[in-house]
Amino acid sequence: MNIKKSDRLSKLPPYLFAEIDRKKAGLIKEGKDIISFGVGDPDIPTPVEIVEEMKKSVEIPAFHQYPFGRGLSAFREAVAEWYLNRFGVKLDPEKEVHALIGSKEGIGHLPIGLIDPGDVVLVPSPSYPVYGGGTTLAGGEVYYMPLKEENGFLPDIGSIPEKMRQMAKLMFINYPNNPTGAVADKSFYKRVIEFAAENEIVVASDNAYSEIFYEEKPMSFLEVEGAREVGVEFHSLSKTFNMTGWRIGFVVGNSEVVKIISDVKDNYDSGVFSAIQNTGIFALKNYEKFVEKNVKIWKRRRDVLCEGLRRCGFEVKVPKATFYVWMKVPDGFSSSEFCEKLLLKAAIVATPGSGFGSAGEGYVRFAFTISEERIEEAIERMRKIKN
Ligand SMILES: *Cc1c(COP(=O)(O)O)cnc(C)c1O
């Protein structure tokens, strides 16, 4: 039998880390000690108190059944309370909050409920691959908005062509930004809201990194007037509490968009394990102490990495948020050539910027989700190959 993938699936670019993984596997076989700045997945374990809370939650029989629906009311109330404390934004836990099996799940499902074939989705380049991938799988077309260094890695909304404004139904934005580490301010969000209202485009703001910051606390898109009329915001417990494997996140904001996500999900999944939601309540209620501890670790690593890269003679900008350093590759290299050199000569994995979209060409992303000692070891190796 000849099994043929759908056109939608065939259109997706090859998985970002596949090629690097293949080369990495070869080197590991040769006995090389690989240092990986590749995937942005915290190495720090979930706080013990959260794990303890999970142990208690898992013993409650009521949590063993299908969770269904928008999430436990207590979880949705905890999200609303967190939003009020953290951002000063009031949410209706009934209509404006929905639990997700990680924010990636909701981001991927939104275009299925919103996009018809031929509709356009505005996606930043470079960006988290799910915005474009989810659009393509929903049969939509992607218009890439380049994020340029001279614009602070914010999309230049004024340059989006008239035709695209008319065809677009959805726009993704993501600050603090993966992969560039950039942050957005109120005036940017104001422009986005104006643009969205004028052109009837739904805004999906991905705020997964709101709690990984080194200067000012990043804001929520929903803090800005008019945001709730045009869009939603995605959040995740993954990065905030080192819970990537647990799969829990949420979407908040415009009740019609939340309902669309809910209707799609009713047909795909049956919700987040209630014991995990119950543990999520505990994490959100105690977020300040967990975040404070976490940020201290990330900050030290960030400084070790940035200072080290400078010592190696690289030009590097220190990120204000996220656990990524987004660095220009040296002259004469493409993103992937530079990453290949790091891998073959120094057994270091970093992600080529071009993997996040064509506008990421010329850059490399280092995720500092490894210990300070390993970062220092990597710097030492880079210093050696530089000479
Ligand atoms: C890690 C990440 C997420 C979070 O994914 P989860 O599915 O919640 O684990 C969302 N957006 C971006 C940009 C990310 O880097």
- For ligand 1, mutation pick of 130, 212, 239, 252 (most atoms within 8 Å of CB): 239
Is residue 371 included in any domain, yes or no? yes
Domain boundary among 287, 304, 327: 287
> What confidence category does residue 387 fall into, taking pLDDT thresholds of 50, 70 and 90?
low
* 313 and 183 within one domain: no
* 324 and 258 within one domain: no
Given a cut of 70, whether residue 15 has pLDDT beyond it is: no
Is residue 198 included in any domain, yes or no? yes
- For ligand 1, mutation pick of 16, 79, 103 (most atoms within 8 Å of CB): 103
| Dihedrals phi, psi of 91, to nearest 5 degrees | -125, 150
* 247 and 269 within one domain: yes
pLDDT digits (tens, 9 = 90+) for 359-373: 999 999 999 999 999
* 318 and 218 within one domain: no
pLDDT digits (tens, 9 = 90+) for 276-332: 999 999 999 999 999 999 999 999 999 999 999 999 999 999 999 999 999 999 999
Residue with CA nearest ligand 1 atom 11:
208
* 228 and 294 within one domain: no
Q: For residue 331, what is the domain's CATH number?
A: 3.90.1150.10
* 224 and 103 within one domain: yes
| 244 CA from centroid of ligand 1 (Å) | 8
Is residue 51 included in any domain, yes or no? no
- For ligand 1, mutation pick of 39, 41, 79, 104 (most atoms within 8 Å of CB): 104
Q: Name residues whose C-beta falls within 8 Å of residue 17's C-beta, 6 or more positions apart in sequence.
A: 38, 39, 351, 355
| 357 CA from centroid of ligand 1 (Å) | 17
> What confidence category does residue 68 fall into, taking pLDDT thresholds of 50, 70 and 90?
confident
* 74 and 41 within one domain: no
Q: Supply 368's token pair.
A: 């500092």
* 260 and 329 within one domain: no
Residue with CA nearest ligand 1 atom 10:
208
Percent of the chain with pLDDT over 70: 99
Nearest to 71 by CA among 210, 266, 241: 266
| 104 CA from centroid of ligand 1 (Å) | 6
pLDDT at 284: 98
| 208 CA from centroid of ligand 1 (Å) | 6
Domain boundary among 253, 287, 321: 287
Is residue 234 included in any domain, yes or no? yes
Q: Cβ distance 175 to 218 under 8 Å?
A: yes
> What confidence category does residue 208 fall into, taking pLDDT thresholds of 50, 70 and 90?
very high
| 236 CA from centroid of ligand 1 (Å) | 7
Mean pLDDT of all residues belonging to the chain: 95
pLDDT digits (tens, 9 = 90+) for 345-354: 999 999 999 9
* 332 and 317 within one domain: yes
Is residue 52 included in any domain, yes or no? no
* 230 and 151 within one domain: yes
Residue with CA nearest ligand 1 atom 2:
208
Domain boundary among 261, 287, 313: 287
| Dihedrals phi, psi of 173, to nearest 5 degrees | -135, 155
Given a cut of 70, whether residue 60 has pLDDT beyond it is: yes
Enumerate residues lining ligand 1, CB below 6 A: 40, 102-104, 128, 174, 178, 206, 208, 236, 238-239, 244, 249
* 162 and 123 within one domain: yes
pLDDT at 55: 98
| 299 CA from centroid of ligand 1 (Å) | 20
What is the pairing mode between strands 249-253 and 97-100?
Answer: antiparallel
Count of structural domains, the chain: 2
Is residue 2 included in any domain, yes or no? no
Q: For residue 240, what is the domain's CATH number?
A: 3.40.640.10
Domain of 11? 7-46+289-386
Look up the pTM and report it: 0.96
Is residue 305 included in any domain, yes or no? yes
Is residue 102 included in any domain, yes or no? yes
How far is the CA of 68 from the CAs of 60, 91, 318, 354, in angstroms? 17, 21, 43, 39
| Dihedrals phi, psi of 204, to nearest 5 degrees | -115, 110
* 84 and 25 within one domain: no
| 234 CA from centroid of ligand 1 (Å) | 9
- Bridge partner residues of 35 (DSSP): 348
